[in-house]
Structures are given as structure tokens and as C-alpha cells.
């Protein structure tokens, strides 16, 4: 996950008021991507899953 400028080949996805840009190579390799925000005793931050609970 990184901050980047949009490219013509990126896929634009808006979900719950947040806009995501997905590189076409990533989208082809991982057609199902989930982004979540977690807070626990170990810290907090974004967690990205590709497919069935496969952490990235």
C-alpha cells in the first residue's frame, strides 16, 4: 500500500468514501482484495488481504 499518482492503467475503486487506485498487475494477480483497519494490543493500522484471508 503506497501513496501514488493515478496512471491510465490503474483501476479506480471508491468504497465508503475512500478512493483506492489498484495497479492493473496487482488486480490480475489478486482479483479479490480486502482492506481493513485493525486496532489491537500489538498496534493499529491497515491490514490487506488478498483472497480468502491471505494477508499481504
Q: What pLDDT sits at residue 38? A: 92
CB neighbour list of residue 46: distance below 8 Å, 6 or more residues apart:
1, 35, 36, 37, 38
What is the tens place of the pLDDT at every residue in 8-44? 888 888 888 888 888 888 888 887 888 888 999 999 9
Q: What pLDDT sits at residue 39? A: 95
Q: What pLDDT sits at residue 56? A: 53
Question: Would you say residue 45 has pLDDT above 60?
Answer: yes
33 is written with which cell numbers?
482484495
51 is written with which cell numbers?
483472497
Which pTM value belongs to this model? 0.55
Sign of dihedral through CA atoms 23, 29, 34, 39? negative
- Show me where the domains of the chain are located: 31-56
Q: Let me know: does 11 contact 28? Beta carbons within 8 Å.
A: no
Classify 9 as helix, strand or coil. Answer: coil
Amino acid at each position: 500500500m503506497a501513496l501514488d499518482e493515478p496512471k491510465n492503467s490503474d483501476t479506480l475503486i471508491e468504497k465508503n468514501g475512500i478512493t483506492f487506485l489498484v495497479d492493473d498487475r496487482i488486480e490480475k494477480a489478486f482479483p479479490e482484495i480486502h482492506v481493513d483497519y485493525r486496532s489491537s494490543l500489538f498496534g493499529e493500522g491497515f491490514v490487506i488481504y488478498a483472497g480468502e484471508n491471505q494477508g499481504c
